Structure 1
Amino acid sequence: MEIYTAMRHFADSWGLLAMTLFFLGVVLFMFRPAAKARATEAAQIPLKED
């Protein structure tokens, strides 16, 4: 088996699974309950007068 074919087969199967799991992890991390307070605080940074 050619190295290109082997790497492509690996990327088509396990690579797609890894990218999907990473994407779901990032989405779930962004929408956790504690993230709302930090996001609101970060959104107010440009409006602060120091």
Structure 2
Amino acid sequence: MEIYTALRQFADSWALLFMTLFFAGAVLFVFRPGAKHHAQEAALIPLKDDQDD
């Protein structure tokens, strides 16, 4: 049972902190200035015509 307790304490402290920081970083990355242009460009990729010659 000692390994369970150690993993549980890790998950409750450092893993939670890491996941929170990762989530905050992902949100900041998505809503950064200039991201709208890249998102619109990526959204139009499926609609571009294929240039198979």
Name the TM-score class by shorter chain.
0.7 to 0.9
Other-structure match for 2:46: 46
Structure 2 unmatched ranges of 5 or more: none
Partner residue of 2:15?
15
TM-score by length of 2: 0.78
Distance 2:44 2:3 in 1: 52
Structure with the larger RCO, 1 or 2 (CA within 8 Å, 6+ apart): 2
- Which consecutive unaligned segments of at least 5 residues does structure 1 have? none
- RMSD over aligned CA atoms reads 1.6
Local SS of the residue matching 1:33: coil
DSSP 3-state at the match of 2:33: coil
Identity %: 74
Runs of 4+ more than 2 Å apart: none
